[in-house]
Amino acid sequence: MNHPAIGFLEARNLLLAHRTDYEAARHGFRWPKLDEFNWALDYFGVMAKDNGRTALWIVEESGQELQLSFAALSERSNRVANFLRQAGVRRGERILVMLGNEVALWETLLAAFKLGAVVIPATGLLGAEDLRDRLDRGKVSHVIAGAMHADKVALAEALAVEEQGEENRPVLHAHISVGGQSPGWLSFEDACQYSAHFEPDGPTHASDPLLLYFTSGTTAKPKLVPHTHESYPVGHLSTMYWLGLQPGDVHWNISSPGWAKHAYSSFFAPWNAGATVFTYNYSRFRSKDVLDLLRAKGVTSLCAPPTVWRMLIQEKLSDYPVQLRELASAGEPLNPEVIEQVKAAWGITVRDGYGQTETTVLIANPPGQAVKPGSMGRPMPGYRIETASDGEICVDRSERPAGLMPSYAGEAGKIPDAQSEGFYHTGDIATVDEDGYFTYVGRADDIFKASDYRISPFELESALIEHPAIAEAAVVPSPDPVRSFVPKAFLVLTAGYTPGEELARELFLFIRQRLAPYKRIRRLEFSDLPKTVSGKIRRAQLRKGEQGRSGERGALEFFEEDFR
């Protein structure tokens, strides 16, 4: 193994050796001190040499499958790296990558990292205006996108010219389309003609830029989060530890490309462990299809967002004998009721984990440890976590945790707020018990007061979702002439339930039996929930709507006092 990867491998192997021994891992783990390091070359490329084990397994809705070994994927990404170099991509230049869960995505990421280019991941759900913002603030030099997105990219460029003038338009040197021909674009499929041998331009410093993420923007304009050749490839050792992955595992992360969670669990963490990345492409999510695949393909580890878990438990899980060993949830806290239902059916505990685009997994429940209902676990190896006076989760920066971003890009004014006094401030609020377990309370922006009591939306949402009629819930403050604000719930129903007065009465009674009077939901509305393109609920939009109320009640809105 090349010298730059030795420290990385030692840290990785320690975590694998103590996969179920949290105390030993916490006390023994140290972030490796790296100067020069290119994960795609120094670790993946060397690990992949003559390695016939499956690295990537893609299943299509049609039943078509593609399996690529580590060796094959490494060679294919070398060809793509040589192709990109010929197309004009240079070290440090930024590539906007807008691809689905297709082999070209993984080839492109590996190739760009080998070149030293910086990838800006983008979901295909973005509109032209969102793309314009990324081209502009991301200072994009090249675009690699599915052929179906070519017109949208062209529109984004036209919007940039319209807004900034021809002289300030984004300068895109290479347009590369995947899966079809686009006029004026290079064809990604031509990469197969290039050499499978790749020589880097020179050494890569661990501090060199690797990725630039735009956050999901639940409360404001998306921030720009940069990561280096150290912070995500090495930092995701914490994610590997949380997931409990081992060499030879088949790991399925249900996530869309374009967001940090995809890099977390569909790229770095599984390949850090030498596991197989499994993915399934579908036009429409169907719980039965997912459960059939889990059983048929021998998936051993599954990570999914809470929305997916809530959909899965609507099926009779016990009818699906699976080979799963590890289950995880991330993105937003998972309600205890869901965890209990999965355990009752499969005998496996869904283990929650907490991280951000700005970090890797910070706090989680790793394998083999006691899981406390409602808790997201304890700090991961390599991270020292404290809470501020208001309960905000803060990361101690004094020991230079590898998985933390260097700083926000292009928004210097935000850096002192987020990384002040030797800590990175997450903006999330939690409580900590005597055993060091953290329990999520909510985003600092989401917590509110009603009758002078501090209200955690997540606690109320968790109580609501225990009712079988509720698929999703979002709680925000609603103006009230007596209490200033009262908790109001926006509710999405599961299949088979009809919104109306009868169900509202049932829900008010249900919540009255579960929450103290000062916490009770006083208003509810059956409604779709506004979400970001990454699927996170936009509570800020709901709050704004409540603050601007005209006094008229919605057709499917009900007040607790209606039923006294």
First to last CA, the chain: 72
Write the burial class of residue 183 (CB in 10 Å: 0-12 exposed, 13-18 middle, 19+ buried).
exposed
Sheet with 250-253, strands from edge to edge, namely 65-69, 54-60, 276-281, 250-253, 301-304, 326-329, 350-355, 361-364, 378-379
Q: What integer pLDDT is reported at residue 218 of this predicted model?
A: 52
Q: Which H or E run contains 538? A: none
SS3 assignment, position 148: helix
Q: Which H or E run contains 324? A: none
- Tokens 């101690």 found at: 396
Q: What integer pLDDT is reported at residue 413 of this predicted model?
A: 41
- Over the range 137-175, which residues count as b (16 or more CB within 10 Å of their CB) and which as e? bbbbbbbbbbeebbebbbebbebbeeeeeeeebbeeebb
Overall residue count recorded for the chain in this entry? 564
Read off φ and ψ for residue 466, nearest 5 degrees: -70, -20
- Which ranges of the chain have pLDDT less than 70? 1-2, 166-170, 216-220, 410-420, 451-452, 534, 550
10-29 confidence digits (pLDDT tens): 999 999 999 999 999 999 99
Q: Please state, as a whole number, how many other Cβ atoms lie within 10 Å of the Cβ of residue 439.
A: 18
Report helix angle 150-164 to 128-137, nearest 10: 60
Q: What integer pLDDT is reported at residue 418 of this predicted model?
A: 55
Q: Which H or E run contains 317? A: none
Domains and CATH numbers, the chain: 34-48+62-234 (3.40.50.12780), 450-563 (3.30.300.30)
In sequence order, what are the beta bridge partners of 164?
A: none
SS3 assignment, position 106: helix
SS3 assignment, position 203: coil
Sheet with 484-493, strands from edge to edge, namely 470-480, 484-493, 523-526, 557-559
144: Cβ–Cβ under 8 A, 6 or more apart, which residues?
Answer: 95, 96, 97, 98, 99, 104, 108, 176, 178, 188
**How far, in Å, CA of 445 to CA of 456, rounded?**
11
Report the greatest alpha carbon distance in the chain. 76
**And the tokens for 332?**
């937003």
Tell me which residue of 255, 253, 259 sits closest to 271, measured CA to CA: 253
Q: What integer pLDDT is reported at residue 484 of this predicted model?
A: 75
In sequence order, what are the beta bridge partners of 485?
A: 479
**How far, in Å, CA of 432 to CA of 505, rounded?**
35
**How far, in Å, CA of 191 to CA of 193, rounded?**
5
For residue 467, what is the DSSP state? S
In sequence order, what are the beta bridge partners of 42?
A: none
